[in-house]
Structure 1
């Protein structure tokens, strides 16, 4: 209803109605009835005006959202690009930084994973930062804790191996299952599992969640590509276009 009223107001403005015409309370009952009849008749005869008005309103909202997102990225640049703990892959000296907020249990994160890998392989000048952002329940949190704990215990290369394994893992991430995964990768499973509930791991997850809240991120995957905040899954060709825009 609110959207319809807003759209109707835009249509009335298109008719060139005087400002005082919007104050229906200043009209007599017959004047209000006549005014409403005129508006209704116009809209019935010209329904395309409603579509035009809605499209214009949505375009303005999208433009405003884009500007708001640019401001959010700029304000939170240090936490996004230089937090000191998130895993950095690709080319650490790349001219465009791509940040991905992901959840290992998210279907679209899994779909995007191979495309992000293709982007890095086809473009050797991209710096990738992974933000562990578990939002889909306890299984997601356990997976992220395991990945972060792996990096603390065994380093960046081990984190990457675990990251790739978790994004394809379809079972329940119990302690036993995660330990078997670590064993299969030749890692110290006991040390990693023991580290999962440490204060350091908890702090990283909490700080990433706080950053996501400031950026108004509510879903995964979400990307920051250069200065652009991209909400949701992005296919490879769209990623490449955004990277090209950032370089341009």
Structure 2
């Protein structure tokens, strides 16, 4: 090793290694012309080549550095995404929490509102549905807003149209829970069977499913999800927290408790 590198401080060597790793991962962009000129003024070509070799050798001898760098990058990106979503929740709070057209369950004047974006074909939405039913029974101060978000094809859209049509007959929640419990295909016949089981008027349901208002509502939900960075179902919003995935009832209770504390 040259005398130059032998006297290079350890932290500087590590920083150079990290920079080389970041460039190789695409985290950093190549230097601009003025930066390149400055770099060449500081290091000779031979020194730069030896620094590159040192960086490569360091990473080969310490491969966990790559893992740590990737994990740090992912954590940074997740934190930035959470911040953006929290800001978006504040911006679109009226569409989320005070949409007069959105189906609502629980206490209309509840002290905490939980919003769910979901799809009737989503197995994870079906998995978490019993937990939501349990929360409605056990928490008299909870309010739930349902955001129909059909993203899994035409059967999902058909089911969402039927659910919003059921709202006009005052049976949204019963029909929603029955659809979540349904296993098998979601076509007009199976949806009609579920509707009949909860006491809906089938002819009225089919007529209401064609409503332009329902089409506008589904479009608005998709646009809202896009603005919030929501791409999957289920996704829950409590307070200013956006939480994707099939959360357990314990996790949901924790989010609700935090919201009650104002955290």
Identify the TM-score tier after normalising by the shorter chain. Answer: 0.7 to 0.9
Are 1:72 and 2:88 matched, yes or no?
Answer: yes
Equivalent pair of 2:20/2:55 in contact (CA under 8 Å): no
Partner deviation per Cα, 1:197-240 (whole Å, 9 max, x = no partner): 11011111111111111111111101101211112221111111
Are 1:39 and 2:55 matched, yes or no?
Answer: yes
Q: Corresponding residue for 1:135?
A: 151
Aligned length: 234
Which SS does the other structure have where 1:109 is aligned?
Answer: helix
- Out of 235-244 and 20-29, give the one that drifted further: 20-29
Q: Corresponding residue for 1:109?
A: 125
Q: How far, CA to CA, are the matches of 2:215 and 2:226 in structure 1?
A: 17
- Out of 130-139 and 29-38, give the one that drifted further: 29-38
Q: How far, CA to CA, are the matches of 1:67 and 1:176 in structure 2?
A: 44
Q: Corresponding residue for 1:59?
A: 75
TM-score normalized by the length of structure 2: 0.80
Partner deviation per Cα, 1:166-223 (whole Å, 9 max, x = no partner): 1122233333333333233222110111111110111111111111111111111011
Q: How far, CA to CA, are the matches of 1:7 and 1:232 in structure 2?
A: 33
Q: How far, CA to CA, are the matches of 1:96 and 1:21 in structure 2?
A: 58
Partner deviation per Cα, 1:25-60 (whole Å, 9 max, x = no partner): 975442222111121233334444434433333332
Equivalent pair of 2:20/2:52 in contact (CA under 8 Å): no
Q: How far, CA to CA, are the matches of 1:22 and 1:53 in structure 2?
A: 26
Q: CA RMSD in A?
A: 2.6
| 117 and 36 in structure 1: CA distance in 2 versus 1, 3 angstrom threshold | same
Which SS does the other structure have where 1:116 is aligned?
Answer: helix
Q: How far, CA to CA, are the matches of 2:46 and 2:148 in structure 1?
A: 63
Q: Corresponding residue for 2:164?
A: 148
**What are the ranges of 5 or more consecutive residues in structure 2 without an aligned counterpart?**
1-18, 26-34
TM-score normalized by the length of structure 1: 0.85
Which SS does the other structure have where 1:127 is aligned?
Answer: strand
**What are the ranges of 5 or more consecutive residues in structure 1 without an aligned counterpart?**
10-18
Are 1:164 and 2:177 matched, yes or no?
Answer: yes
Q: Give 1:113 deviation, angstroms.
A: 0.2
Matches within 5 A, 1:178-193: 178-193=191-206
